[in-house]
Structure 1
Amino acid sequence: MHPADHPARRRLDAALSDLATVFHGMTARPDEANCECHWGSAEELSLLKTPDVELDPDLLRRTWQAIDWTDHGAVLRRVLPQFAAALVAGRVDPLFGLEEAGDSFARGRWQRWPDEQAGAVREFLHAWWAQSLTDPTAAVPAHQVMAMCAEASGTVAPWLADWEQQPGHLSDQRLVEAAEEWEYELLGDQLPWFVNWYENDEEQMSAELAAWLHGHAAPRLRASGASPELQRRIGLLALTGEERWTHPHWPGHRY
């Protein structure tokens, strides 16, 4: 199958096209400002107030990463079609992790936008998540997309529900890869990505993710050939406190 013919890729392409249509003509506020020393020049700022002009990659990065816009939502809407395309292509390289991009979405409060705009963002996130699970040509590892989507939305629930609806060898392999990435932090009762948006409940997300892994995901890990050691570590998530730390299978993690 040609990569462009993959069903998840077609859905994602349609979502990206919809973002371009819905957010066509968007600009930052006329009075938006930022520090020339720390963000960029007046000429660069003027580009954010000009619709549909593509930004160079460095300016795009500085724009979505900045935390001090007067109206972050308006700035995000201005860059969103280009930003989303860069995310999908793996051209976004945050300092810490892709959850930083999710934090930018959260700061923009996209879920409060008009229905057409919020719906376009929601479909993009779900389409990208599905593509990361099922398309062998996906440019970004699924566990990174999961972190981004969870941070953007403030919850892990819809993304885990989507994963349950995506059975199959590749989706299960993505699960093994994610479990390998996440087990250390989860065994320490920590979320395996950095949560910065103050409204997100890190403790709740961590607990829900751990419960899902040792519940729904455990049989899929066994069926997909995950190592016995990884399966034992995920099994420890069912235990709490001293019962976990003193279990014979405890891997000796230090926090």
Structure 2
Amino acid sequence: MTDPHQKLQDALDALDAAFAPHAEPSVPVGGCTHCYTDADLEALAGPVQQVPEDLIYSVAHKTPDHWDDFPGLYRRLTPRIVRLLTADRLDHALVASRLLAADWRNWPAPERTALDRVWQAWWRAALHTHPSTGHIADILEILAVITGTPAPWLAVWAQTRTKASDLHLSDALDRWLIEGELADLHLGFYDELHATPALLPWLLSLEEDRIGAAQLIEVERIAYS
């Protein structure tokens, strides 16, 4: 079986290929001249692979109103943004919200398909390695928000019976159980997705040995209170 991390690299390479038609110089980029210099805007309109990394980082996080054509710019830079994202160098919740604002689910089919393959490969690679590059709860957050549901990602997690997967589960619960957050957990920078209705039943459906006793007591207390 192909190594999950190699599958992720292959998916990222395929993402570059899918977006290649947009990678060459484009029409001028219009944006906030208070935050970006003329040289910045010129660089953003140039070849995607030559855009400085600090500019990619900035565009990935800035609000859409900084740009004359936010969806077009975000779409064009997506392969670079996603590589930084999978390397845990961007804010997962914020990028999830920006991808929704860019309406990524209505992009051309080849681009959506390439992104879906990255999401699948990234999730599996993370579940098979502990510690992973990035906190598992952050990775689940962006995947659930951009696809509109945590259900398929939780299903894969349940089916991944490895030590790494279970250690990730413990890590995620450590975060979700802080101050009872699991009782009303919203994901996304703007709380776009209410995760509790899917997450609580899923946790209770797992085999007994998947969750430690102390954490399970807390999960059950939240579920049945």
TM (norm. structure 1) is 0.78
- Deviation of the 1:11 alpha carbon: 0.9
Aligned ranges 1:46-85 → 2 under 5 Å:
46-67=42-63, 68=65, 69-85=67-83
Distance 2:182 2:10 in 1: 40
* Contact 1:106-1:153 at 8 Å conserved across structures: no
Distance 1:73 1:65 in 2: 13
1:233 alignment counterpart: 218
- What's the % identity of the aligned pairs? 22
2:19 alignment counterpart: 23
Asked if 1:166 corresponds to 2:160, the answer is yes
Deviations along 1:58-116, one digit per CA (max 9) or x if unpaired, are: 21121111222343332122212221211222222x3xxx2111112211211111111
2:123 alignment counterpart: 129
Deviations along 1:160-208, one digit per CA (max 9) or x if unpaired, are: 12212211111111111111111236556321544427xx3x33x2211
Equivalenced residues, count: 222
Deviations along 1:22-52, one digit per CA (max 9) or x if unpaired, are: 11141697364211113x1122112222233
- Deviation of the 1:7 alpha carbon: 1.3
Bigger shift: residues 205-214 or 50-59: 50-59
For 1:11, give the aligned amino acid. K
* Structure 2 portions without partners, runs of 5+: none
* Contact 2:18-2:110 at 8 Å conserved across structures: yes
- Could you tell me which of 132, 136, 144 is aligned with 1:138? 132
1:87 alignment counterpart: 85
Distance 1:220 1:31 in 2: 57
Structure with the largest fraction of helix: 2
1:34 alignment counterpart: 31
Bigger shift: residues 7-16 or 158-167: 158-167
